[in-house]
Amino acid sequence: MQKTSFLRTILMAGAALAAPGTVFAQAVDYGTLEQIYGQPVTTSATGKPQLASRVPADMVIIGADEIRQSGADNIPDILQFVTGIDIRRYSWGDVQVGIRGYDTPSYPRMLVLIDGRQVYHDDYGYTAWNTLPVQLDEIRQIEIVKGPATALFGFNAAAGVINIVTFDPLLDNVNSATARGGTQGYASGSLVATQHLGTTAGVRISAGGYLSNGYQLLSGSADPFPPQQGTWNISGRWQVTPTVLLRAETGYANAHTLTQITLDTFGDEANDASYWRFGGAADTRLGALDFDIYRNMTIANFEQGGPLNNTADVLVAKVSDLLKLNADNTVRVGLEYRNSGIQFSGYGGGTDSYDVYAANGMWDWQISRMLELTNAVREDYLQLHDTGIFLPSPGRSREIYDSTTLAALSFNCGLVIRATDNDIFRITAARGLQLPSLIDFGGQILYFGGLVAGAPDLHPTSVYNAELSYDRRLSGLGATLTSSVFFQRNTNLLPFPGYTLSGFYGREPIFSVNNIGSSNETGFEVGARGKTSGGLRWNLSYRYASISQDITASAAEIQNTQIQYADGTPRHEIVWGLGYSLPQWEFDVQARWQSAYMDFMRPSLSSPGAVPFPIADYVTLNLRVAYNITTYFSIAGVGEQVNLTNQIETAGETVDRRFFAVARLHY
């Protein structure tokens, strides 16, 4: 960018931080703001630029340097060293990430975004991490919100949010080529290229993929479906005028992996995922208007005793207005429309879908220099639709699958208290919502020796959360101490997979899903991290979580399920890291210990239900050594789980020790 444009961006974005409520329809220069204020900046929670320490939520931000220094080659491996994050890896590519427990092989409680675009699959209720069309070198930061955030972030953010923020093709110039190779027959590569078109437009293109032999099964045999992946993405920004910005994106991913289709059944899952997106922003006398429309399309092919295929399609359109009422008050109002559908092939045919209409509002009040209050509310209204076969479950008619509606209210309230320049308190309260997956809500499918009939009378799980957190900056040590304590109440729990025998279709059993009760969770987190001018960096943290549950369904009613959330969440977790940088060398060690928990599996299709599969406490220890040959070119050696040859972490595959080398060109 030209100097005048660059200075204008700094001054305007800096004013937004100095005077909360100031808004601009321009790309936010995160890098410059981070240099000015000495900490990460985000716009995700309220729509305006905020220092990470001032966000009205429990947010952790992982920066680009931390991503690189981790040595990881995928996002879940980065997240596993964040306190309060649970990782369950059932195979090389079948991995689920959870926040504050309630972990299952498909995790439906968390909203995952890339630059604000949903990549969470609401058809089955999970995130396919191996199909995200983003390369690690193009990620500016990963923002993690712990606790319900539906009103602030949108649809289904019941337990929390992970927002992957990439570099801006208009403001940032990111170009890289990375190659990796190592044990398990692993080979991968990625490319990222940015092209500025004058001073007002920019395009970023990225591509990457991997091949591997995978991990081994619990029986000791090799992975029968070696994992592979390939992705590409194109992202562009155009500053049409000083007050109008346009955005456009498209991307594609193809991934194969061994996946846990049911508790006892593993098979090859091949996903073709594509999307397109268009949006823009404009400064007007009515505020900063923003619109966004995108479509996610996924074709999933399962090979397990025959082909089982489905096509999922999500269309989202939303508009918002961020308005500064005066120097101390900012409001945001928005509308959203979503259509989500899944079409079956090989299940009996048909399409299940729903339309969701949502309205949301946010008020940010800078009460004083020391106090800032943010209140947000969102109302979702859902209409269910179904075509194709009809399974006559007891008490349900064909019409109920086309006439059922659901209305749900969520809220977030956060008070940030800046007691001193070094001490910040947050008091937050929230109600988040986990909507039933499309299959559980309206599915009409035939597979796996029975039939699944959706339950339109399901209620969404309500997650109430109250939390107090305290951050203390230790200036003399170049460190920050963080702590939080929370209490969470869950009502109308939805189990995984949770199918109850509800009737028969001829001789075929019909299974449906029921709400199964309620639960409470109490926990706290404490940690510290620091960095010295001499190149030393470190972190140490601890998490405690205790879940009690009141399950109203009996074991006989729900046989094929995981409902022991109390035993299924590790109670203790310790994360530790140490790194040191020299002009040409970097050394990093990361470790994570978690206490024992209970997973589940079903020994065979003929067995009556799921049986406990205990997982002992374990340690994951990763190492990285890097050498900067030049300013632009580096090589590194990475070891993952160097403490053990293989580790049983779930009822799926074992997780094996890995070593690989990395060559990276970045300019």
Q: What percent of the chain has pLDDT over 90?
A: 56
Residue 129 structure tokens: 């991490």
Q: Which helix (H) or strand (E) holds 65?
A: helix 64-70
Grade residue 454 by pLDDT with cuts at 50, 70 and 90.
confident
Task: Read off the pLDDT of residues 474-507 as tens digits, 9 standing for 90 and up.
Answer: 988 889 999 999 999 999 988 766 666 677 777 7
**Quick one: pLDDT at residue 640?**
95
Domain boundaries, the chain: 3-666
- Cα separation, 312 vs 301, in Å, equals 11
What integer is the mean pLDDT of 331-355? Answer: 83
Q: Please check the confidence at residue 403 and state whether its pLDDT lies above 50.
A: yes
Helix (H, G, I), strand (E, B) or coil at 650: coil
Q: Which of 121-135, 615-629, 631-645 has the lowest mean pLDDT?
A: 121-135
Per residue in 578-594, pLDDT (tens digit) is 999 999 999 999 999 99
**CA dihedral sign, ordered 125, 126, 132, 135:** positive
Non-local (6+) Cβ contacts of 506 within 8 A are none
Nearest alpha-carbon partner for 450 in 513, 514, 510 = 510
Q: How many CB atoms lie within 10 A of CB 219?
A: 7
Residue 411's pLDDT band, with cuts at 50, 70 and 90, is very high
Query: CB count, 10 Å around CB of 441?
Result: 26
Give mean pLDDT, residues 102-109: 84
When mean pLDDT is compared over 116-130, 256-270, 391-405, 544-558, the highest value belongs to 116-130
Mean pLDDT of the chain: 85
State the Cα angle at 62 between 176 and 416, rounded to 5°. 145
Amino acid at 119: V
Cβ neighbours of residue 211 under 8 Å, at least 6 residues apart?
185, 186, 187, 188, 226, 227, 228
Banded model confidence at residue 598, pLDDT cuts 50, 70, 90 = confident
Q: Residue written as tokens 């970045």?
A: 666
Distances (CA, A) of 575 to 225, 480, 527, 534, 540: 32, 16, 9, 23, 6
What does the pLDDT look like over 34-58, one tens digit per residue? Answer: 776 677 778 777 777 777 778 888 8
pLDDT of residue 40: 77
Residue 17's pLDDT is what? 47
Cβ neighbors of 42 (< 8 A, separation 6 or more) are 49, 50, 52, 55, 59, 61, 141, 143, 165
Greatest C-alpha distance within the chain: 75
- Evaluate if residue 343 carries a pLDDT over 50: yes
What does the pLDDT read at residue 18?
39
557 versus 370: which is more confidently predicted?
A: 370
Q: What is the pLDDT of residue 5?
A: 38
Compute the average pLDDT of residues 54-83.
92
Question: How many residues make up the chain in this entry?
Answer: 667
Q: What does the pLDDT average to over 368-388?
A: 90
Architecture of domain 3-666: Beta Barrel (2.40)
d(CA 464, CA 518): 11
Segment 372-388 mean pLDDT: 90
Quick: pLDDT tens for 274-291: 999 999 999 999 899 999
Burial 262-298 (b: 16+ CB within 10 A, else e): bbbebbbbbbebbbebebbbbbeeebbbbbbebbbeb
Supply the pLDDT for residue 238: 95
Q: How many Cβ atoms are within 10 Å of 507's Cβ, its own excluded?
A: 5
Residue 301 has pLDDT above 90, yes or no: no
| pLDDT for the residue 241 | 93
The residue whose two tokens read 């090979």 is: 303
| Predicted confidence (pLDDT) at residue 76 exceeds the cutoff of 90 | yes
Quote the CA–CA distance of 482 and 53 in Å, as a whole number.
10
In this prediction, residue 206 carries a pLDDT of 97
| Adjacent-strand bridge partners of 293 | 278, 317
